[in-house]
Amino acid sequence: MTDKDWMSLALEEARIALAEGEVPVGAVLVHDGQCIARDHNRREQAHDPTAHAELLCLRRGAEQLGDWRLGACTLYVTLEPCPMCAGALLMGRVGRCVFGAADAAKGCCGSVYDLPADPALGGGTAWTAGVMEAECAAVLAEFFGGRRGSAR
């Protein structure tokens, strides 16, 4: 499968999050050409500030592999990782991260900051930006556009 194929699965997860009222971010963790974890944001459901799609996938993937070292894995995520998630990529030694939409407010794989490239942190996680960017951004725009239009 290609990066676009895997990102399509992450988008399916983002759409599930949208239907559940969560910020629509989806992620898929791939090891040796197989999906070993897929999930979406669950912060509202879990009442957990760390229940980001990326972290949920990393946890499940580490369980599946029986190892916290995820160097042979690629994480596909619809939105550029935030500081917490970019840090988790490094701490889990994830080999590669592929994301769709950039996050100009909190993105830490090149937008606001490039955490994986910081030499003080040892680096090691390569990243690729913009895979299915328009589709990923559209799901986020649908969510945030709807929220702005609703009375709160």
Q: How far apart are CA 115 and CA 99, in angstroms?
A: 15
**Distance in angstroms (rounded) separating the CA atoms of residues 13 and 79:** 12
Handedness of CA 7, 136, 25, 143 (dihedral sign): negative
Burial category of 11 from C-beta neighbours within 10 Å (exposed 0-12, middle 13-18, buried 19 and up): buried
Residue 27 has φ and ψ, to the nearest 5°, of -145, 155
Residue from 12, 20, 22, 54 carrying the catalytic annotation = 54
Q: Which helix (H) or strand (E) holds 136?
A: helix 133-149
Active site residue 54: yes
Q: What angle do CA 3, 13, 4 make, to 5 degrees?
A: 15
Active site residues: 54
